[in-house]
Copies of this chain bind each other. A is one copy, B any other.
Amino acid sequence: MDWSIQEIAKLAGTTSRTLRHYDDIGLLTPARIGSNGYRYYDEPALVRLQRIMLLRELGLGLPAIGDVLDREESAPHALRSHLEWLRQEQQRLARQIASVVNTIGALEGGERLMAENMFDGFDHTQYKEEVEQRWGKDAYAKSDAWWRSMSAEEKTDWQQRVSQLNRDWIAASERGIDPTGDEAQALAQRHFEWLRGIPGTPGSDGQGPTKEYFVGLAEMYVADERFGANYGGQAGAGFVRDAMTAYADRNL
């Protein structure tokens, strides 16, 4: 199964021109090229594109992105590092929102503005060098160390656990059992453990995710129907959500 250049552009929310540019500079070459000269992309290309766009949001230049991707072995463990960045971005946004709310309050109160507060959360580029360092030399220190410390056996074991968890969720929801019952709660527990194992997740180095984070993720499964497809559609996602929130209420 492969896609035309336009199809992949729409999927990724970019343009065909950009994809051709990426081909030109050798950043993302199509899976195959038809006898007519058309570019066709496959699934691995999609994964690579997702990573390219993540790195672009990070502010990296295209050559730097190429370096990072080519020095890469495992896509998943690099994606974990991306997650960390994304979460920092969320915090930056949160601070920016707070800053604007603050400015509104001050302006409407007719008070003096405190310059330092006004721009909190704004500096988007400040870490640029640090970012280049991290993604260049440092080789994903945290995430990498974590993944590398596993033996090949442990790695496949980890993968199988994820896969099994997904299947078990679907099976449980299809059997129509009680999401607050023991069996579903055991699944929620496993889900919790899985999240804890992802570096960069809040609480991954300690007691595990916070209640808010855990519940928030569960809600997201339902809120976005396409996302819930992983758990066998809307109904499955709802089941997962119910089980997870019940678990959070009791244990977190």
Q: Is the CB of A100 within 8 A of B86?
A: yes
User: Which residues of the partner chain B approach A80 to less than 8 Å between Cβ atoms?
Assistant: 104
Min Cβ gap A93→B in Å is 5
A26 located at the interface, meaning its Cβ lies under 8 Å from any Cβ of chain B in the complex: no
Q: Which of chain A's residues 1-41 have a Cβ closer than 8 Å to chain B? A: 3, 11-14
A216 to B89, CA, bound (A): 16
Contact with B along A80-102 (1 / 0, CB 8 A): 10110011011001111111111
A117 at the interface (CB under 8 A from B): yes
Contact partner of A83 (CB less than 8 A), chosen from B86, B101, B126, B198, is B101
Indicate whether A98 sits within 8 Å of B54 (C-beta atoms), given known contacts A115-B11, A123-B13, A163-B110. Answer: no
- What is the CA–CA distance of A212 and B14 in the complex, to the nearest angstrom? 34
CB distance from A88 to the nearest CB of B (A): 10
Residues of B within 8 A of A120 (CB): 224, 226-227
**Given the known A-B contacts A108-B163, A229-B117, are A217 and B75 also in contact in the complex, defined by CB atoms under 8 Å?**
no
Q: Which residues of B contact A123 (CB under 8 A)?
A: 12-13
Interface status of A50 (Cβ within 8 A of chain B): yes
Any B CB within 8 A of the CB of A149:
no
CA distance A226 to B123 in the complex (A): 15
- In angstroms, Cα B54 to Cα A47, docked, is 31
Which residues from chain B contact A94 at a C-beta distance below 8 Å?
90, 216, 220
A118 in the interface, Cβ–Cβ < 8 Å?
A: yes
Could you give 5 example pairs across A and B, Cβ below 8 Å? A75-B107, A86-B100, A101-B217, A114-B230, A117-B229
Binding site for B on A (CB under 8 A): 3, 11-14, 43, 46-47, 50, 53-54, 57, 75-76, 79-80, 82-83, 86-87, 89-90, 93-120, 122-126, 158-159, 162-163, 166, 198, 212, 216-217, 220-221, 224, 226-227, 229-230
Could you list 13 further interchain pairs (A-B, Cβ under 8 angstroms) beyond the known A3-B115, A79-B100, A101-B217? Answer: A11-B116, A12-B123, A13-B122, A13-B124, A76-B107, A79-B103, A80-B104, A83-B101, A86-B96, A90-B90, A104-B198, A109-B166, A110-B159
